[in-house]
Amino acid sequence: MSSTQGFEHGHIHSSETDYHLEELSSGPIGLVPLESVSSRTTLEPSIFGSLAEHPASSVVSDGLPMDDADRTVNRKLRGIHVFMITISGVLGVGLYVRSGTILHIGGPAAVIIAFSAMGFLAWTVMQCIGEMLALWPISGALTEYVSTFVDRELGTAVGVTYWFTYSMNFAADIVAAAGVIEYWNPGKPVIGTVMFFLVPLFLILFNSFGVQIYGLIEVIAGTLKLAGAIVVIIAMIIINVGVGSEGYIGIENYKNNIFQYDPKTGDNWVIVFLSISCSIAIFSFTGVEVATVPAFESRFDSNTQPNNIEKEITKSPWDRISVQFSATWTTFIVWIIYIFAALMLTFNVKWDNPGLPGVSWLGSPASTNAATKSYSGFVLSAARSQITGLADLFSAILLFTAISAANTNIYVASRTIFGLTRELDGARWKWLAFFGRTNSYRVPVRAMFLSCLFIWVPFLYLSPNNSPGTTISSLLEVLSQMSSVGCLIVWLCQVLAFIRFYNCVKIHQNELEDDPFFAHVCRFRRGRKNDRYPWRSHGQPLTMYAALFGCLFVLIVADGSSLWNGFHRTAFLSAYLAPMCFIAFWLCLKVYRFQKWHNIQWRLEDTSNLEEVKNKIRRLDQIKQRATTTQQPIGWANLWGLM
């Protein structure tokens, strides 16, 4: 890495190079030369706690640790790629299916209020994550933030949980796509061959040819998904104003009581809303944190460095979409889409429509006597309108949405496990370090194969015993919900990490401001000279505590719906198996690190000691600044990266 690159990444403006020249001569802000740090701190990886050893083959260039070529990725993604990857990760079939479930069990009011409230929660969470991401767009960001500011073993548990979430979601979206394609009744042989074999195979191939090709595919897919959502909303408006066999609908469904509810799910509307509707709605927003994953493969953001006026003027529109834009605005954009789509659904479909999907652990997800074989309320509305081809168009949009979401899920899962294992080395963990290497395209294909661990799950869908109430149906439900709950656990831990970071830099703000090497983390220098903090989230500290309360509420209260109106085993396992496994895994890591139970130190990472805080910041800066290698020409030789 050249010194010029280092200054750019350290957010030093060329117009301000006269600021503390004597201090800056030794390195960029936020990055102390290694020799000056080695006596105080090491690059001890937080991944897997004390299990990890830094790769012995790492070299040093210009005082900066350099990763081996096969442990790096290419920084080729632009902001538009990160934005579309995030859109593809969050905009899935949840909107088109789960909104109908909420309407069926809680009426129109539950749909609007639940999506509004849970959208706000997702926004508060991303405010916290986005601010840390603006500082440190690093590999395994969600793991590193928790390991650095909360607890080392907790960070590892978060990383493994996040990998499981998206590895399982990859399989779940394939199953969802199979459910959508049943609208055309192709038969199980076609579903098994096309949806469960060919589609995953092609998705793996798309992800194996370099991040540039993957980024291009995601831009196309994300654009089509956004266009599809807009088409659905416009078509629902057209149906509402009278085009179709139903005639003018307007707000007819709002003239009666909008607080209707299904008595099977609760004793009153409040219980149904709090215990089930919020829990269902929040999982439609899982994926907003996906922006943290491609950030490590994105080009260094120059939007926060307006030192080159000519370069700023000649930027293309896509260059103006930064990583922090994706992290903070994607939630708002998806929130608006969800609200408008859900509103039109409540206008056009009555809450007691027999075709709407119910809560699966109470029976069949959709009524068997429904005229339209679809779990989506939007497809039901299109079919009732009898507009030629509209129901087929909606089903095609749902199918494409599910497949593109699966494509994003395998990408996220592979990068997550790569971030967990790429710093492992040594004889003890050689089998794990195997997954922390990339091929000649700098793609972690080994991690991608590991992330296909649950590819067997969709084949359970083909079993003749797969019907509501059977063991296979319950297994599919539990595995799918475990992944959703796991993502919410990750959200909670990220909020805890940000709270600890926020309070840490606030306590040490004076000392950090006195040291120019830490000017980039001086959050409370707003409006002052030489303010180099990249981005400040809105409404802090109220926002972070609202996010903390919201995550705890959904995990503890809303997910406890299985206990509100009688005990349901499948629902109980769906809600609480993931937290129980998470806690058990975290405790196992604690025991492994400290050897014995009574030796475990039950304390959080030390953020009260200034030197410890500086060491933590240096380490995150060094991870961010590590150089990457150039990509080899595209070819088939190292496609799988197994050699």
The 3-state secondary structure of 296-320, one letter per residue:
HHECCCCCCCCCCHHHHHCCCHHHH
Condensed to tens digits (0 to 9), the pLDDT of residues 235-275 reads 999 999 988 888 899 988 898 888 988 887 777 888 888 87
Domains of the chain by residue range: 74-301+321-355+376-496+541-628
452 or 1, which is more confident: 452
Identify the CATH homologous superfamily for domain 74-301+321-355+376-496+541-628.
Answer: Amino acid/polyamine transporter I (1.20.1740.10)
Query: CA 137, CA 305: separation in Å to the nearest integer?
Result: 16
More confident site: 68 or 585: 585
Instruction: Return the higher-pLDDT residue of 34 and 618.
Output: 618
Least confident among 23-37, 58-72, 211-225, 620-634: 23-37
CB 148 within 8 A of CB 46: yes
Are 44 and 598 in contact by the 8 Å Cβ rule? The answer is no
Taking residue 633's Cβ as centre, other Cβ atoms within 10 Å add up to 6
Cα 130 from chain centre: 12
Q: For residue 77, give the DSSP letter.
A: B
Query: What pLDDT is attached to residue 69?
Result: 63
pLDDT digits (tens, 9 = 90+) for 501-560: 999 999 999 899 888 889 889 888 776 777 888 888 999 999 999 999 999 999 988 877
CA 614 to each of CA 12, 53, 89, 212: distance values in angstroms, whole numbers, following the listed order: 19, 22, 34, 36
- Angle formed by the axes of helices 94-135 and 323-348, nearest 10°: 160
> CA-CA distances (angstroms) from residue 643 to 20, 68, 174, 275?
49, 16, 30, 51
Could you tell me the pLDDT band of residue 29, with boundaries at 50, 70 and 90? very low
pLDDT of 47 reads 43
Q: Categorise residue 374: left if φ over 0, alpha if ψ from -120 to 50, beta otherwise.
A: beta
Angle (nearest 5°) at CA 241 between 237 and 247: 125
List Cβ neighbours of 576 (8 Å cut-off, separation of 6 or more).
559
What stretch of H or E contains 516? none
Beta carbons within 10 angstroms of residue 341's beta carbon: 21
- Which pLDDT does position 631 carry in this prediction? 44
CA-CA-CA-CA torsion sign (501, 503, 509, 510)? negative
Q: Using one digit for the tens of pLDDT, what is the confidence trace for 454-467? A: 988 888 878 777 66
The answer, yes or no, to whether residue 72 has pLDDT greater than 60, is yes
Extract the tokens encoding 417: 């496990």
Count of helix runs (H) and strand runs (E) in the chain: 23, 2
Q: Cα 158 vs. chain centroid, distance in angstroms?
A: 12
State both tokens at 296.
């490590």
Which tokens belong to 57?
Answer: 């083959």
Is the bond leading into 541 cis (omega within 30 degrees of zero)?
A: yes
Over the chain, what is the mean pLDDT? 79
**pTM, whole model, 2 decimals?**
0.84
| Half-sphere exposure (Cβ direction) of 449: Cα atoms closer than 13 Å | 12
The pLDDT value recorded for residue 129 is 95
Question: DSSP secondary-structure letter at 5?
Answer: H
